[in-house]
Every structure is written in C-alpha cells, then in structure tokens.
Structure 1
Amino acid sequence: MSALTTPATLEARGWGWRYATRVRWAVRDVELRIEPGERVLLLGASGSGKSTLLQGFGGVLGGADEGETQGALLVDGKPPTEARGRVGMVLQDPDTQTILARVGDDVAFGCENLGVPRDEIWQRVRQALDAVELDAALDRSTAALSGGQKQRLALAGVLAMRPGAILLDEPTANLDPQGVQDVRDAVAAALDVSGATLVVIEHRIDVWLPLVTRVIVLGADPGGTVVLADGSPDEVLGARGAELAASGVWVPGHPPATPPAPSRPPGEPLLGARGLTVSRRRGLAVAGPFDLDVRAGEALGVTGANGAGKSTLGLTLAGLIPAENGRVSALPALAAGEKSDPFRWSSRALLTRIATVMQTPEHQLLAKTVRDELSVGPRALKLPEPEIAVRVDDLLERLRLTALAGANPYTLSGGEKRRLTVAAALATRPRMLVLDEPTFGQDATTWAELVGLIARLRDEGTAVVAISHDEAVLDALHARRIEVR
C-alpha cells in the first residue's frame, strides 16, 4: 500500500438487531467504542452475536424487511450505510463475497465502486494479491480456487479499497497452518502501512495475540448482549482466563475436554480406493493416486495444504463426484445390494450409507427452518412422522439447536450452521460420515461436544473421514492420517 488512510472510529450505542424470522434478538443493547487505529480481537461463545455486530458495522445486514434494529451503530459518527468505503469486511464464508468470474476483476470490484482511477486500481490489485500471497493470474477463474484461496481473494479485495477499518470474521478458518501465518502477516503489514482500525473474530487466538492491543468478549443474558470483558490481552485472557474458558471462549492454556481413545481396534473395511486420482473437471486430476481403506469404527484424517485436493478426495469417497482414474468400491457391508461404486448409487441409497458435511454450510441448506432441515433426510426415506420427530428432537438437543428449531437456517451464526449440517447428516443414521472441517466456527464448549459426538459415533461402528486443518480435532479423534499432496 502506497498511501495512508485515516483510521475509523466504531461505536455501538445500545444497538441491537433481530432477524425478521426470529423471535430472539441476535444482539441487543450493545455498548462499546473502538478508537481510531485500535486493533481489537472480538471473542464470545457461539451465537453470542459477534458476527452480527461486525455485519452491522459493515452495513450489510439489510433494511427493515430483513430485520428490526434498535439503538445506533456509528462509523466516524455516521450510520455505516453512509460511511461509504470506510469499512472493509471479510465474512466467514468467502463464497458470499466472490462476485466476479476472474481473480483480477474480483479484487478490483470494490475500487471500481469507489471511483478509483483505472490505472491506480490495477496497481492496488497487484499489491493486494501480493500482500495476501495469492499466486494466481489476474484472469484465473475464481470458481477454480480452493476455499482457503477464496479467503485470501476476499481479503485482497478489502485491502485494495484501503478502508479506515478492516473487519475480519474468522479469516483463517479454512487455511492450512502456513496460510494462517501468511494471512496474519499480510494483515499486519497492511495495518502498519495504512494505520486502519482492526476488528477480528477468531478462534485461533494465539495467532492474533501479537497483533491486537485490545480484547472484547461478548456474552448473552436474558436482558441482552453484555460485554463480559474488555481490556488488554493480558488483563482479559490472563486474569480471567479460567472464567472465560468455562463460558465457552477459546483461551490459550485452557484446552477443551477431549474424548477417550477408542476402546477397541477398527472393524472391517466399508469402502476402499485403489489407484484413485480425483478431479473436479474431467481430464484435470488434482490429487492421487491413493490406495486407502475406510474402516468401521475408525476415524481417517485427511490433511494437506490448501488447494491440494482434500475436499475433492472427500467428495469422491462420498460418491458425489466420479473418480478421475482408479476406483472407489464399497464393500458388501456398506453397499448392501447396491453397485460397488458409490457414485452410481441413487440419492436415496446414499442417504443411509454415506453422509457428507461440506466445507461451506450454505451449500447444503435446503429448508426454511432448522427443524425442517433436520427432517429432509428422514422424510426422503419415508420414515413415519413420529420417528422423524424423535430423531429431530434428539439431534436438536445434542447439538444445542433446540432454541433455534423454528429459525431460518440462513440467519444462524457460522458455528450454528456447522452444527446444523452435522446434525442433518446424522439424521439418516449412515454407516459412513465424510466431514469437511467439522468444527469450523465452534466455541470451546461446542467444539468439545461436537468432537465427543463424532467419537461416540466412531465407537459405535460408524466410519468417519475427517478433512481438517485443525490438528487438535484429529488428535482428539485418534485419527489415522493420510496427507494429500
């Protein structure tokens, strides 16, 4: 970045927001002020309203038809919708911010809307791509990027606009360890030059602590949203670490509980791959060849750098995309009379055999309410309504979604959407689970509960394929690893 920006002031005065389809306020009565140039880490349990607050400052929550507001949010003393170009934001799901078909055009989009001169736009675009270390040609298709690469693309688009405040909602959630460090360093470099105000929501607290100067912790009580703690990192995480960890906040030195090791060895193979190469486009293999078995009662952890093909391998094993070369074969215990290749099974056959949780929750949300979302699979299997109700109620309780049963799934927080998609996968009681970043967006409490649930399913004989950059998840599941290169 070649020019400084004037850092922005962010202020909430008794502010609240309630989605049009919800009875409960997402946030309410928030009082805080962030001074120009401050670097703030915003923490809180899943569903505490962190993302809603950031979206409010970013001016992206919508109008009266999308929800009800109270109090005031201000950017430099003005409503966010009147502070054009002063706030740049990277949301939890970078797909929602990928607008144009080519990398260069996508990064340039914000600058064009701000009326930046054309020659300067392309200078900014190249500088922003270099800053986030996204090594992609300007004419490369954005659809061809991995999830982690799309996150860097979204960050580059924000940096190119040179805003007075940069808001980041879990910007490293789907990045490999090196990518996490690269993005953090890119943000640090941009802040050092621009002086912009920073607010970042993250569960990887250790990564951001050297960069931030203030920690704000949000919580919820019957009266509204409260600021549980506010101060320097040492004051908040040091003096009150144990208390905050007990409320679900990720605190260094206070790891969540993990399940015990499996009490018995893995069972029989349910699915095997031999000489398997995988691809999203026919004739363009991205990874392989693989020789592997997925066994009953075992977790198989799939690791590797962003863009290596981990998600593509998972979708191929799940029967959702065809193998490029080699074969995927379900053994009789899983196939149960179907053809050996899961890709040739009907949707109904897949429902009770292999369930998939994709990296991006929105890609598999189908219904208008959380309860209906959990009923989709069982209804497709034509189960009796009383049995469907029992299954759904059980999953709502086990995954802390009961209070959200009537909510529109798209109004949930990122962590709540992830728990919903896991619950929907379990509703048909499959023999094999393919989970892509299963703990994305979870607080410490829901992380432990989700990992514990997966471990119990493993111990009951379910085969689990877990694709994750979170080594703690794979360690907790005592997963056998395969690295995708």
Structure 2
Amino acid sequence: MTAVHPPLRRAVQVRAREWGWRHAGRKAFAARQVDLGIAPGERVLLLGASGAGKSTLLHALAGVLGTSDEGEQEGDLLLDGVPPAAARGRAGLVLQDPETQVVLARVGDEVAFAAENLAVPREEIWRRVGRALDDVGLDLPLDHPTTALSGGQKQRLALAAVLAMEPGLLLLDEPTANLDPAGVLEVRDAVVRVLERTGATLVVVEHRVAVWADVVDRVIVLDAGGGILADGPPGTVLVQEQTRSRLAEAGVWVPGRQPAVGGTLPTDAGGEGLLSARSLSVARSRRGRAVVEDLSLTVSAGQALSITGPNGAGKSTAALTIGGLLRPRAGTLEASALLAGAAGPDPFRWRSAHLVQRIGTVFQEPEHQFLTATVGEELAFGPRQVGAPDSPRIAELAERLRLTHLLGANPFTLSGGEKRRLSVATMLATAPRLLILDEPTFGQDALTWAELVTLLRELVREGVAVLSVTHDTDFIRALGGATLHIADGAGRLVSR
C-alpha cells in the first residue's frame, strides 16, 4: 500500500491508459503501452534503460510534447482527468538539460518567471524566490548573470524556478546528474522539504537509484520494448532478487550491483607528453574573472585524468581551455610535436579541421555539438571535414555505443543518454590523440555506462589521453589514472 503525504489540496492525480508517443520522422515509438495511475501526493521514482521513454513521459505530463505535427500520440494521459495541455501550471518540469530551461539574464528574474506567468502576487513571488534559492543551496545575488553559472549551478537554478511555482505535480528529469556529491543530497533534501510543505505529487527520473529510494513511495520501471517492467514499493522492486536480476539485465542501475566492465584497468604510467600547461589561468569569457589560477600539469599519451571539484569551481572552463576552445587568461598551454604536428604549439590558434583530429572535446550539453539532421550524418560530419568520409570507424562506434538503430533519427529527438553517447561517438570518429569529456556518464543506464567505460579503457591502452570532468566516483575508479581536484580557484593533482 502506497503512502500519501498531506496536504492534498494541490496534489495532482496522474492516469495513463495504453499511452504512447512517437516523434515525427521516427519509426519506433519513444514510449508505448504505458498503463499506470499515480495517486495525489504519491512520490514515484521512474526508472528504465536509456531510451526507454522516461524523459518522453515526463515531457508529456508537463504538456510540452507539442502538436500532432511533431509526433503521434496513442492512448490517454490525464492530469486530474484532463489532458496535460489543459492543465498548464499544475505541473512543473525540470529538464534533463538545464541549459535549455534558462531564459532570462538574472538569477532572481529566472526563478520568478514561471510564478509571474501563473499570476502569483508580487510580494508572494519574491518570498518564494528567496525560499527556493535557499532550498537548492544557490547562494548568489538576485542580479547575478545566469550566463556566468556552471552547469551544476544552472541545474540548481532550474529546480529553484520550478519550486517557486509550487506545482501540484513536480517532474524531475535527472535533477542531480551534474551536481557534486554534497549537492546531490542537498538538492534531494530540498525536494523533500518542498513536498512536505506543499503535498505535491512527485515523479523523478534518476539513475542514482539509492539517492531517492528512501524518500519515494513507489518505483515504476519502463520496459524499453513498451509497457511496465516493474511497479511497486522500493522495498519490493529494489530488494527482491528475482526482480533485481530482471532490472539489471534491462540496464537499470540496481543498488549494490556494479555493471561488469571489459578491458583491463589502465596504468598510471602514460607515455610521451602531449600537452603542457604552465601557470595557467582560465576564465569563462575574455573579460570575465579568472576562475582557476596557476594551474600546471602535463597530459601524456595513454593517460587517464579525471577533473573533480564542487560545482562552479571552474572544472569545465579549465577543460575547454586545455582543449583549445577558450583562450588562456594567463600562463602557457603548449602542445608537443607529437600532438601538434605541423599545426603549431598553440591549440587555441589551430583551425577547426586541425583541432578535431588532435583534440576531441565532448561538451557538458550534447546539443551544442549537433550540426546535422540525422545521427548517421552527425557521425560522418567530422571524418568528412578531415577527408575521411568513408571511415569504417563510424559503423564500429555506432555499434559499440548502441546507436545503430538510431542512424536515421534526428539527434534532437534522442533521449539524454543517447545524445551523450552520440556526442562521444562524433568526437571519437576523427581519432583524436586527446579526448576531453565533460560529464561523460550523464544519462547512461548500467549497460551503456559499462560499454562506454570499456571503450575508454581500450582507448587509453592504445595511447589516447582521456581527460574527464566528472562527479561519477564509480567512473573514476573504473577508468583509473590520476585526479585533478579543482576548488577555491586552484587545482591539485592527485596520483593513484
């Protein structure tokens, strides 16, 4: 029997009857034969393999899937007995990619925006804004520029904006994926406090199952082939061995079960130096303040290096600078002859065709890299630019990263995990000597996570340098190598 949390005056009831959705231009349904009911005030953890339709279901519940021109719906999906589009404002959605949710220039205005659209009285709006920012731990002035936020800070901001709405249905899509370990618990606890205060219904999609298992009433697992794979209290779905085995086989992260990774753990030795930073200072823009200063390190062939640290510390900025995409504020960044060839020692001055063959950078937001209309074209784009349009590596990468069945799909219709794997594959297609990954395991189920780690292990053993910005401690352990911890404006190299 599920627990229902008072008060119920704002909580939304959800009902799906054989519901499904197919994106325009796609042969397969993103989700299908979903049949479930969620009681007002119930707290649900929604699980499933990458591509099973979790994000699609959340988008549908929020009423943002679009018109019939954008896809085909079957069955019924209702909030309090009406279609989601007729219940706008009753549901609040935090998107998987918070970058796409930020619309205004200042932090305070962004948090207030949705509440203003709901005609909340002005005095009440700013009371809610302050409380929401406190809840998510975003301690910044109201006039702080949203463009100056890190990915993790934008994730907190997006959550604060939705919390300020005080919706009857709170929909969270990977709300802690880009947060540091302390921030994960802080944000989860903030959500619980809001639920206790408002009594809202919760549906949260998250691969960090253990984080949410103790605060939800129910776990629903979508089957990648359609329908429901499992449904029940966490103590049943996540504990009974028969169910745990079924979930693990489907790629669901099961607490206490670590996916098997192929290949051998790379050594710390590394080979010849590829890139050296000396007294490097980095900034998010040419006129912005330096976020990391006096950073010195050498990246060598066949080395795995993980960059860790709290949100907003400058990890992504450092990675983009090392990757030749941002100009150093001070200090030097010099490529060795082995990496640079005839391109010269300064990666920032390399032409794009030279850069992509030497340093491949996977952004924190995969959509920022997509340039074409299909997955197949996206994979071929880089090799075509460097004169290798028929590279056999394309088909191999598509197979390894489980993208073959999506070659004709529009990249923007993929799930978050599929987008991440595509962004990795596009960078690997040109065979760079240095691969830079920003949150590479974001949105991955257990099986695709293991496949990605196995592939990266193989690359390191082949002499590729892999530099990863990540909060995923399991990934760091599985890939091995050294860790660069960035905090308080400085970086400290930790060898293992």
Q: Under a length normalisation based on structure 1, what TM-score does the superposition of the two structures give?
A: 0.97
CA–CA distance in structure 1, aligned partners of residues 252 and 268 of structure 2: 33
Residue 62 of structure 1 aligns with an amino acid whose one-letter code is G
Q: Does 1:464 align with 2:489?
A: no
Q: Does 1:205 align with 2:209?
A: yes
| Greater displacement, 401-410 / 242-251 | 242-251
Q: 1:98: which partner in 2?
A: 102
Gaps of 5+ in 2: 1-6, 488-496
Q: 1:315: which partner in 2?
A: 320
Equivalent residue for 1:425, pick from 421, 424, 427: 427
Q: Does 1:379 align with 2:384?
A: yes
SS at 2:35 equivalent: strand
1:146 CA drift (Å): 0.7
| Greater displacement, 253-262 / 26-35 | 253-262
Q: Which deviations, in whole Å up to 9, do the C-alpha atoms of 1:62-83 show, x marking residues without a partner?
A: 0011111111110011100111
Q: 2:346: which partner in 1?
A: 341
Q: Which deviations, in whole Å up to 9, do the C-alpha atoms of 1:411-467 show, x marking residues without a partner?
A: 000000000000000010011100001111000000000010011000000011011
Q: 1:229: which partner in 2?
A: 230
Equivalent residue for 2:112, pick from 108, 120, 134: 108
Equivalent residue for 1:60, pick from 33, 54, 64: 64
CA–CA distance in structure 1, aligned partners of residues 198 and 445 of structure 2: 31
Residue 56 of structure 2 aligns with an amino acid whose one-letter code is T
Q: 1:413: which partner in 2?
A: 415
Q: How many residues align?
A: 477
SS at 1:187 equivalent: helix
1:400 CA drift (Å): 0.5
CA–CA distance in structure 2, aligned partners of residues 149 and 83 of structure 1: 29
CA–CA distance in structure 2, aligned partners of residues 277 and 242 of structure 1: 49
Q: 1:353: which partner in 2?
A: 358
Q: 2:31: which partner in 1?
A: 27
Task: Tell me the C-alpha RMSD between the 2 structures.
Answer: 1.2
Q: 1:42: which partner in 2?
A: 46
Q: 1:145: which partner in 2?
A: 149
Q: Does 1:260 align with 2:276?
A: no
**Cα distance change of structure 1 residues 108 and 4 upon mapping to structure 2, 3 Å threshold:** farther
CA–CA distance in structure 2, aligned partners of residues 78 and 262 of structure 1: 55
SS at 1:88 equivalent: strand
**Cα distance change of structure 1 residues 323 and 234 upon mapping to structure 2, 3 Å threshold:** same
The answer to whether the 8 A contact 1:5-1:162 is kept is: no
Residue 278 of structure 1 aligns with an amino acid whose one-letter code is V
Equivalent residue for 2:219, pick from 181, 196, 215: 215
CA–CA distance in structure 1, aligned partners of residues 456 and 224 of structure 2: 28
| Greater displacement, 454-463 / 234-243 | 234-243
CA–CA distance in structure 1, aligned partners of residues 293 and 481 of structure 2: 20
The answer to whether the 8 A contact 1:242-1:254 is kept is: no
Equivalent residue for 1:248, pick from 246, 251, 255: 251
Q: Does 1:177 align with 2:181?
A: yes
1:281 CA drift (Å): 2.2
Q: Which deviations, in whole Å up to 9, do the C-alpha atoms of 1:132-159 show, x marking residues without a partner?
A: 1111111111111111111111111111
Q: 2:401: which partner in 1?
A: 399
Residue 122 of structure 2 aligns with an amino acid whose one-letter code is R
The answer to whether the 8 A contact 2:268-2:481 is kept is: no
The answer to whether the 8 A contact 2:62-2:88 is kept is: no
Gaps of 5+ in 1: none
The answer to whether the 8 A contact 2:111-2:160 is kept is: yes
The answer to whether the 8 A contact 1:170-1:201 is kept is: yes
CA–CA distance in structure 2, aligned partners of residues 260 and 354 of structure 1: 24
1:263 CA drift (Å): 6.0
Q: Under a length normalisation based on structure 2, what TM-score does the superposition of the two structures give?
A: 0.94
Q: What percent of counterpart residues are identical?
A: 58
Q: Which deviations, in whole Å up to 9, do the C-alpha atoms of 1:125-180 show, x marking residues without a partner?
A: 11111111111111111111111111111111111111111010000000000111
Residue 165 of structure 2 aligns with an amino acid whose one-letter code is M
